[in-house]
Chain A
Amino acid sequence: MPAAYVVPMPEDPRFYQIACLTALLAYGVTFLEFDVTPLRIVAILATAQLTQYAGSRWKGIPFDPLSALTSSLSLCLLLRANHVPVLMLAAVISIGSKFVFRLGQKHVFNPTNLGIALVVALSGDAWISPGQWGNQATLAFLFACLGGFVVHRSERMDVTFATLLFWGSVVIGRSMWLGEPMTIPFHRLQSGSILLFAFFMISDPKTTPDHRVGRVLFAALVCAFAYYWQFKLFKNSGLIWGLVLMSPLVPLIDRLLPGPKYTWPGGKQPLPESAPQLTGEALAAK
């Protein structure tokens, strides 16, 4: 593995994401009794890397393991199934979708999001546990997530904050309208699932609109759908379903509100002069 991967403060935000997701997974398995065994974790991670490798060969592009690792760690955190092959199928769909559903430099769907949505909806064998994080570790969770923001100073964090703002507003607003005590919306917002979604799923720069206004609009659409899903249809995990169903609108938003395409630091996009250039597989175009 190239030396660039192990430098203590790499500017590629995915290093921080991977560290953060790994820590969350370790925390979940150790303290929250996540129903995910080492075998399942290995199966998901290995399948994702193999799919990434096969897709790279198919498209004739260099192999970049980082995004596939991020996506597969998210799968380990979120997706549960009776059978290991179903988890592996989710990994194939997640990573495979990047190569199949794409427009120009971008993917249509967030890989993890699509993988989860399809196997939960179609396999009859998989599920998401929105309550699995509980509400105790929210602060630690939030600091870990904010840490990522401080570390990589990503310009694309606007979509994260817009999501938190919109979702917080609708949840608090609804409770105010119902006359519920504020403990209720705060309890709902303390769910680790929401932070995980905002910081690690909808924030993916490869699938969000290019223009800042577009990204804020996109976050609003996802939250509006999630509200309808959870508080009108009384179904669960509204944000996840909102993201997968709103993602096809991103090309339209990009057409209306064009902006610069994002590449991971060190890629084809020129970096600010102060930022050191990374080399190696991690920097390859995806």
Chain B
Amino acid sequence: MNALHKTVASLALAVTLAGVADQAAAFCGFYVAQADATLFNNASRVVIARRGNLTTMTMANDYKGEPKQFAIVIPVPTVVKKDQIRISENALIDQLDGYTAPRMAEYWDEDPCNPPIYYGDEEMSADDGSGGGGRSAPTKVPDYKVTIEATYDVGEYDIVILSAEEAGGLERWLTDNGYHIPAGASGVLGSYIKQNMKFFVAKVDLAEKNKLEQPFLRPLQVEYESPKFMLPIRLGMVNSNGPQDLVVYALTEKGRVETTNYRTTKIPTDMDVPEYVAGEFGPFYKALFQKQVAKQGMQTVFLEYAWPLSISCDPCTGIYLSADTLTKMGAGWASEYHGGVNGGFVTRLHVRYDMAHFPEDLTFQETADASTFQGRYVIHHPFTGDATCEAGRAYKKDLYTRQETEITNVASLTGWSTETIRKKVPGHSNAPAPKTGGSWWEQQ
């Protein structure tokens, strides 16, 4: 399969061929690691900002192939006008991804012999991005029973908005214009046509692309007004090579977003894990996600983050989302307020899907649920001093049991064997069960 073919196989969403990368920078006090979407190969990332019927969809484009071979076809509910298509910035999506990623919090056990007075900390910063322009010219193409509603040049993209009367004509038009359509797409296209949906077709304008200094393609942003709060995933599953990951960052006015035609479940959270997990949080979260997908029979959408934008993150895993950033993502209703943001809610949904388990497109609703949720895993660093006092001895006795619980937690979350995990926890490698005659440090 050539690069173009691969691209069109992910029709509904921009193709993603991302490798694994780590971003390990601490912006706030307790934060040490995050599991961002780049951990997951073939993870598509989409930001959906929605208020009333107005939707702004920003699609990350981490296509790594030849730009001239890049092409996408995305069903959209309405004809999209010239000023409703923009170019966004990967940095903005990365920022939103980092801000909402599952996270690790760490705490240090106090000296049990000299308990200190409580202390804490917190800080914030801000960032921004840019957009583009275009032209329009509606034309009927009778031979294909396809109407070119508009054509736009937006940044490095050539964009065509199509409506069609029947799938065969649309397929022929796309094929004749250099888009390779995988077998099996025709039926899916046909059902979207009957639902009166339009098609957003984009490919790269090489001349414009070469003017850019950056090597990668920038995200496409589409705005439209429609009662349909959905994400078409069916085209992307035609001819796909197995399960795909999708991360949706939803920006809404007041509450959590969930899928209405699939169950939304919360990712397991607030679990204590051993110290070493801080050093391998990426693999830990990947294994955890895989385990949860299997546990739920690959039938659910996972909630990884739900937080009112007016409430500060805790712990923070990324740069603070400013009103300016949010406006660029389509959430213009979030206004700057006393150094924070007034109003708005962010939801992060993560789904692994294939045709067998997710036969229909994802439909969403914004609920009134304003409660906070985050995927959060906690490390308690043991106190390593002498602690020879009475309280210190009691602390050491409890520590072993606590660490055993942490080992069990990681095993149940990830499916890793307890033996493997024990080897990474000091004092537990050869201790399958707690001894009654004293703790490990006493035996040593």
* Interface residues of A, Cβ cutoff 8 Å to B: 32-33, 35, 80-82, 123-127, 129-136, 177-181, 183-184, 187-188, 191, 233-236
- Please measure, in the bound complex, the distance between the C-alpha atom of A126 and the C-alpha atom of B367, giving whole angstroms: 8
Is chain B's binding surface mostly helix, strand, loop or mixed?
loop
14 cross-chain CB contacts under 8 A:
A126-B368, A127-B255, A127-B365, A132-B263, A133-B263, A135-B262, A136-B299, A178-B191, A179-B187, A179-B191, A187-B261, A191-B261, A234-B226, A235-B227
Known: A80-B367, A80-B369, A181-B187. A236 touches B260 (CB 8 A): yes
Q: Which residue on chain B has the smallest CB distance to residue A35?
A: B369
Contact status B368-A131, CB under 8 Å: no
* Interface residues of B, Cβ cutoff 8 Å to A: 187, 190-191, 194-195, 226-230, 254-255, 258-266, 297, 299-300, 359-360, 363, 365, 367-371
Distance (Å) between the CB of B337 and the closest chain A CB? Answer: 21
Is chain A's binding surface mostly helix, strand, loop or mixed?
loop
- Please measure, in the bound complex, the distance between the C-alpha atom of A184 and the C-alpha atom of B261, giving whole angstroms: 10
Q: Which residue on chain A has the smallest CB distance to residue B371?
A: A82
Known: A80-B367, A82-B371, A178-B195. A184 touches B259 (CB 8 A): no
A contact residues around B194 at 8 Å (CB): 177-179
Distance (Å) between the CB of B73 and the closest chain A CB? Answer: 18
Contact status B360-A184, CB under 8 Å: yes
Contact status B261-A233, CB under 8 Å: no
- Please measure, in the bound complex, the distance between the C-alpha atom of A126 and the C-alpha atom of B228, giving whole angstroms: 21
A contact residues around B229 at 8 Å (CB): 234
Known: A125-B368, A184-B359. A33 touches B227 (CB 8 A): no
Q: Which residue on chain A has the smallest CB distance to residue B359?
A: A183
B contact residues around A178 at 8 Å (CB): 190-191, 194-195
- Please measure, in the bound complex, the distance between the C-alpha atom of A68 and the C-alpha atom of B168, giving whole angstroms: 57
A contact residues around B195 at 8 Å (CB): 178
- Please measure, in the bound complex, the distance between the C-alpha atom of A33 and the C-alpha atom of B258, giving whole angstroms: 14
Known: A178-B194, A188-B261. A82 touches B370 (CB 8 A): yes
B contact residues around A184 at 8 Å (CB): 359-360
Q: Which residue on chain A has the smallest CB distance to residue B229?
A: A234
Q: Which residue on chain B has the smallest CB distance to residue A191?
A: B261
Distance (Å) between the CB of A128 and the closest chain B CB? Answer: 9
Contact status A127-B369, CB under 8 Å: yes
Q: Which residue on chain B has the smallest CB distance to residue A192?
A: B263
**Further pairs besides A131-B259, A191-B261: 12, Cβ < 8 Å:** A35-B369, A124-B254, A129-B260, A130-B365, A131-B260, A131-B262, A132-B263, A178-B194, A181-B187, A181-B359, A187-B360, A234-B226
Q: Out of A123, A124, A133, A236, which one reaches B365, CB within 8 Å? A: A236
Contact status B368-A180, CB under 8 Å: no
Contact status B227-A233, CB under 8 Å: yes
